[in-house]
C-alpha cells in the first residue's frame, strides 16, 4: 500500500503511475490495461463462438442511453456491486439472492436488471447460450463508461456465472458504505486485491449518476459536515430538507452526465457528495492521487481502465466452474422450464446445447 509521502507530490506521482501502469494500444482503438489477466480470462475469448458479442452489447446500449443516459450509471454501479460481493459471478442479478434484499443493493436501478436480461436475449439469440451474464455485465459497464465520454478499454472475457448465493450480510461486509472514511475504503479494496490508487480511480465512477438523500444525510443533519463547502451544503439542503427525504442529487455537480475528471475537481472544492468521496481528499494518503486526477484527465482514464480490469477479475469463475445462465436472474437449476425447452431443441437437432 502506498504511503502518504509517496502521494504528496502530484508530479512525482504521475511519473510513477505512468511508468508502472502504462497502457498499450489494443486491437483497434481500445486501450488495454497493463494488468496481469487471471487464468481462464482472455481478450478475444468469444472470437470463435460469438465474435459479434461486443458489437451486439454496444449497439443495444446505444439505443438505451440515447433515451436515458442515466442508465449508464446504473449499469456501471451494478457491475461494481457484482464484483465486490462474491466476485464478478452475476450473483447480484439473481432474484433469489439475499444480496438483492440488503440495504446497499436496494438503490440499484430496477431498469438495469431489465437491460441485462434484454442484452442476454440479444446475445443468446445470435450465438446460443454461450456467453455468461457476468461477461455481458462487464461489457455493459465498459460501454457505459465509453458512451458517457470515458475511456474505451479492452475487456478480458471468459467469466462463468455463479451457482451459489452470498451469505447474509455479505453485502455490508464487502461493499463500502457512503459514510466510510478512507481507512475503511483502503482496507476493503485491499481485500479484493486493489490498492489505494485503484480505490481513488474507481471512486471516480461517481462522475456520473445520482445519490439519494439517505445516502449522505449524516453530512447535512443535524449540522453541516465541516468538510463540506457552504454553498454546496445549501444546494444539498434544498434537495434534502429532511434526513430521509425521498429525493436525489447528481454525484458530480460540475458535469453530472459526463464521464470526466471533474469529480476530482469537486473533491478539491469540498463538493463531494459522500463522506467516502470527500475523505479521499481530506486523507493525506490519497489526497495526492485526487489532485493528480483533477489535473490530468488522461491519467485518470488510464488508471480507471487499470482499476476496472482489476475489479472485473475479482474472484471470477472460469473454465468448468459455475455455468452459463440461460436467464440472468435465475440459476439454471432454478429454471426448469428453459432447461426442458433446450433439451427439446437438442433432440430436434439444434446446435444450442447448455454448457
Cα 344 to Cα 38, 126, 334, 338: the distances in Å are: 36, 19, 18, 10
Cα 292 to Cα 201, 264, 268, 308: the distances in Å are: 11, 9, 11, 18
Residues tagged active-site: 81
> Closest CB to ligand HEM among 15 and 187?
187
Phi–psi pair at 171, nearest 5 degrees: -65, -40
Rounded to a whole number of angstroms, the minimum distance from the CB of residue 176 to ligand HEM is 4
Q: List the one residue from 38, 123, 211, 240 that touches ligand HEM (CB under 6 A).
A: 211
Rounded to a whole number of angstroms, the minimum distance from the CB of residue 352 to ligand HEM is 33
87 is in an annotated binding site: yes
152 is in an annotated binding site: no
Cell numbers that stand for 150 in this block = 470515458
Question: Nearest to residue 73, comparing CAs of 137, 147, 144?
Answer: 144
The reply to whether 206 sits near ligand HEM by the rule CB under 6 A is yes
Question: Nearest to residue 86, comparing CAs of 174, 159, 172?
Answer: 174
21 CB-near residues (< 8 Å, 6+ apart): 33, 34, 35, 302, 303, 306
Task: Provide the strand spans (E) within 99-209.
Answer: none
The reply to whether 210 sits near ligand HEM by the rule CB under 6 A is yes
The reply to whether 209 sits near ligand HEM by the rule CB under 6 A is yes
Is the distance from CB of 57 to CB of 140 less than 8 angstroms?
A: yes
Q: Looking only at residues 222 through 251 of this chain, which bind ligand HEM when binding is defined by CB under 6 A? A: 251
Q: List the one residue from 31, 80, 194, 314 that touches ligand HEM (CB under 6 A).
A: 80
Distance of alpha carbon 144 from alpha carbon 208, whole angstroms: 10
Q: Which stretch binds ligand HEM (CB under 6 A): 49-57, 156-164, 198-206, 290-298?
A: 198-206
Is the distance from CB of 115 to CB of 64 less than 8 angstroms?
A: yes
The reply to whether 77 sits near ligand HEM by the rule CB under 6 A is yes
206 is in an annotated binding site: yes
Q: Please give the residue ranges that form the binding site for ligand HEM (CB under 6 A).
A: 70, 73-74, 76-77, 80, 107, 109, 176-178, 180, 185, 202-203, 205-206, 208-212, 215, 251, 274, 276
Residues annotated within a binding site:
82, 85, 87, 89, 91, 99, 206-207, 252, 260
Residues annotated within a binding site for Ca(2+):
82, 85, 87, 89, 91, 99, 207, 252, 260
Amino acid at each position: 500500500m502506498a504511503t502518504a509521502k509517496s502521494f504528496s507530490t502530484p508530479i512525482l506521482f504521475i511519473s510513477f503511475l505512468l511508468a508502472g501502469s502504462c497502457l498499450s494500444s489494443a486491437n483497434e482503438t481500445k486501450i488495454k490495461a497493463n494488468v496481469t489477466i487471471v487464468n481462464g480470462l482472455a481478450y478475444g475469448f468469444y472470437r470463435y463462438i460469438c465474435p459479434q458479442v461486443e458489437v451486439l452489447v454496444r449497439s443495444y446500449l446505444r439505443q438505451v442511453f440515447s433515451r436515458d443516459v442515466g442508465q449508464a450509471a446504473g449499469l456501471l454501479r451494478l457491475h461494481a456491486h457484482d464484483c465486490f460481493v462474491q466476485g464478478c459471478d452475476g450473483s447480484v442479478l439473481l432474484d433469489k439472492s439475499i444480496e438483492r434484499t440488503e440495504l446497499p443493493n436496494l438503490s440499484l436501478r430496477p431498469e438495469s436488471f431489465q437491460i441485462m436480461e434484454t442484452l442476454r436475449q440479444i446475445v443468446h439469440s445470435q450465438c446460443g447460450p454461450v456467453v455468461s451474464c457476468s461477461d455481458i455485465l462487464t461489457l455493459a459497464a465498459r460501454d457505459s463508461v465509453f458512451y458517457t465520454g470515458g475511456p474505451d478499454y479492452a475487456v478480458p472475457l471468459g467469466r462463468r456465472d455463479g451457482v451459489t448465493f452470498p451469505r447474509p450480510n455479505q453485502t455490508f461486509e464487502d461493499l463500502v458504505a457512503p459514510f466510510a472514511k478512507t481507512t475503511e475504503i483502503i482496507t476493503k479494496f485491499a481485500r479484493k486485491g486493489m490498492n489505494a490508487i485503484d480505490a481513488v480511480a474507481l471512486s471516480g465512477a461517481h462522475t456520473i449518476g445520482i445519490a439519494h438523500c439517505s445516502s449522505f444525510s449524516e453530512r447535512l443533519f443535524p449540522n453541516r459536515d465541516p468538510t463540506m463547502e457552504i454553498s454546496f451544503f445549501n444546494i444539498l439542503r434544498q434537495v434534502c430538507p429532511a434526513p430521509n427525504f425521498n429525493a436525489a442529487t447528481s454525484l458530480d455537480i460540475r458535469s453530472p452526465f459526463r464521464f470526466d475528471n471533474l469529480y476530482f475537481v469537486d473533491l478539491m472544492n469540498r463538493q463531494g457528495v459522500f463522506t467516502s468521496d470527500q475523505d479521499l481528499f481530506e486523507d493525506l494518503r490519497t489526497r495526492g492521487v485526487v489532485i493528480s486526477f483533477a489535473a490530468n484527465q488522461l491519467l485518470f482514464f488510464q488508471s480507471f481502465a487499470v482499476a476496472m480490469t482489476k475489479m472485473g477479475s475479482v474472484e471470477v469463475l472460469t473454465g468448468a466452474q459455475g455455468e452459463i445462465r440461460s436467464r440472468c436472474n435465475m440459476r439454471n437449476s432454478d429454471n426448469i422450464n428453459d432447461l426442458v425447452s433446450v433439451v427439446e431443441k437438442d433432440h430436434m437437432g439444434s446446435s444450442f446445447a447448455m454448457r
